[in-house]
Structure 1
Amino acid sequence: MAVSLREDRSGGSVDHFLALLQDRLPLWLSILHDLSYRIGKGCVADNLLPIARAGINYYIEVQSAALPAFTSPQVTVRFREAVRDTGLGPGTEVAPLAAYLAAEQDLGRIGPEVDPEASARLLIAGCFHRAYLEMFVGADAGPTLEASAREIVRELRLEPVPA
């Protein structure tokens, strides 16, 4: 992906962003894929809490590098093409989380009315939003990272309501 995005010069914001993604994305995806080992174990919310924490931290790290990299419409278009060509778009984050939620739903640990894919996207969006706010207004402008992670998971309301 780096070759298709590099500008005519080495270094700079695009290279920094790509290097950061290359370093951080595999760990983030590994954390998401490791959820498969938690299926049917513990409490679903407790299993998702470290995911929310890790997601917030991941987005805090990569968003700060992303903004300067996308000052040019040409770079943005090239980045979109590279993401599409490599298959590393948002679906790579959503798929393992949605698969975990669907498996928990099959076990009856998540209500049948829950849409696993939409819930996965919402969890990731909550993490992204929390990181975005921290980047622009500071970490002390809202709930702590821990409180935010708990809110994100709680408000997904995944676990079935007892009859």
Structure 2
Amino acid sequence: MLKDKSNLWVVATFFLLAVSVIASGVSFYLYQRANAFETLYQHALEDLGRIGIKVDILFKFENGTKRWYNDTYVASGWTLLNLTTSISRGDIKYSTMYGSAFVTEIFGVAGSGNEAWMWWKFNQGSGSWELGEVGAGDYVLRDGDIVAWYFEDVSSWPPLPP
């Protein structure tokens, strides 16, 4: 009887030892794979930095809600209209006049009366917001740009910055 119990403990010990070795091996393998994927991810970011740019965009709604999309990578040559269309997943309406796009609705929020979507660019040199001088389809984004869409009352000019 004693021999059967000692055999059981020996078998249980070897079983637990085998499970521990297998678990350690799997953990080591997964750790190596995670490191490899991290390296691939960093290389992809470096490559993206060479062919694209990084921008920040803010959507400020009438009720004060702010939606930031920071460190957004886009292709070089993209316009503010391209970025807005991409971020909003196509939930945007605009009209074209004189070759420029005038945005009338973003995320289902449409201008009416004295309210409209205006775009702004943050001037990092002066530390202040500047009203967009061209249509969203004409403004070509640059690396590091901070831009904002502000839904606001335009009955007085110039409108207030975000």
Structure showing the higher helix proportion among its residues = 1
Bigger relative contact order, structure 1 or 2 (CA pairs below 8 A, ≥6 apart): 1
Q: TM-score, normalised by structure 2?
A: 0.26
Higher strand proportion, which one? 2
